[in-house]
Homo-oligomer: A and B are copies of this chain.
Amino acid sequence: MKTKITLKELAKLLNVSVSTVSKALHDSPEISPKTVERVKELAKLHNYRPNPVAVNLKSSKSGTIGVIIPNISNTFFAKVLSGIEAEAQRLGLQVITYISNERLDREKQIVDRLTSGFVDGVLIAISEETQRKKEYDHFYNLVEYDIPVVLYDRININLPVDKIGIDDERAFDEATQLFISKGLEKIGLATSIHHLGVGKMRITGYKNALPNDKKTFIANSSRPEILREKIEKMLLKDKIEAVLCTDFESTMQVYRTAHELKIKIPEDLKVVGFMNKNVAAFLAPSISYIEQFPEKIGQGAMDLLARRLQNYPKEAMTSEKIISTRLEHLESTVF
């Protein structure tokens, strides 16, 4: 077993002081070129790497950032994490992952951990329960401890921090407009996330797009059986001609229910879903969907945080960044 070599050991081998070694490795102009060379050579030979924990203690930085993820099984969040991780690597930062499972108590625990100095900054998508109960006090602890926070995706929340997400309202407004422009009269919406900020925004986009003379049809429930019933009612009784889905679950429910009721997509029903290509393209028929570019959101979130880590006091203003979505047309919106 190899054991990690330390500055002290290098110094002894070279018959110089620890300070000289440290300075040499940092290319300090104080040190003679000859010494620098000797030191670096030996360091390389022994594959010396500074102990990050010691460096962190000295600099009172941890060199890591925390990411709070509400639900990692959601491919969207998994991909956001991927974007964060890639950008963090580029910046030389480590990513510590925390999963709240959409629960407020877990989120509080996590934030408590975070304030004890594990991380230099935090990226957060706020849990569902937290949003439902509107209890944001714990986040102010982070602010008080001067730990920069960036909210990602779930940004429709009144906290004085940087934010990055998509324009949920516009995406659904545009998708609804599309149906209207094709002359459809009865346009519905299915959602299992109507209590989330992002869900509300999407519903608002849909409603705003509908002219006053057009009725809204909304099937909403976070309980699968109920959602399924409401979708069935929309399809059979309301006889909607098109439906927008705000999330993966509702999209799959619409797909399955239409099939069971022998309602043909796209002939009898146009569908715009919210899911990733991996699934959308292989359904039969394939389902058009709103593409979100989660990796970009992750990368952007990391960049916003990195800016704060560099010169926090200088920039007082918080910024909000929006990543555009795109409606990807597959078979379910063929007219």
Contact = CB atoms under 8 A, between A and B. Distances in A.
Nearest to A80: B72
A236 interface: no
A31 to B, nearest CB: 23
A144 to B, nearest CB: 5
A97 B73 contact: no
B73 A278 contact: yes
A99 interface: yes
B282 A260 contact: no
Interface stretch (A49-57, A126-134, A161-169): A49-57
Contacts of A57: 51, 53-54, 57
Interface residues of A, number: 55
Nearest to A286: B256
Contact of A2 (B89, B97, B144): B144
Question: A4, A64, A97, A276 — which one has the most chain B CB atoms within 10 A of its CB?
Answer: A97
Interface string A243-263: 000001100110110011000
A255 B278 CA distance: 13
A159 B259 CA distance: 49
B73 A145 contact: no
A85 interface: yes
A49 B117 contact: yes
Contacts of A253: 282
A116 interface: yes
Given A1-B145, A118-B94, A252-B279, A53 B56 contact: yes
A234 interface: no
Nearest to A64: B96
Contacts of A94: 96, 118
A95 interface: yes
A169 B26 CA distance: 53
A27 interface: no
Contacts of A260: 284
A78 interface: yes
Contacts of A82: 72-73, 99, 101
A187 to B, nearest CB: 22
A96 B62 CA distance: 13
A16 interface: no
Interface of A: 1-4, 49-54, 56-57, 60, 62, 64, 72-73, 75, 78-79, 81-82, 85-86, 89, 94-99, 101, 109, 115-118, 144-146, 248-249, 252-253, 255-256, 259-260, 276, 278-279, 282-284, 286
16 contacts: A1-B145, A3-B145, A50-B116, A53-B56, A53-B117, A73-B82, A75-B75, A78-B78, A85-B98, A89-B98, A94-B96, A95-B97, A96-B96, A259-B284, A260-B284, A279-B279
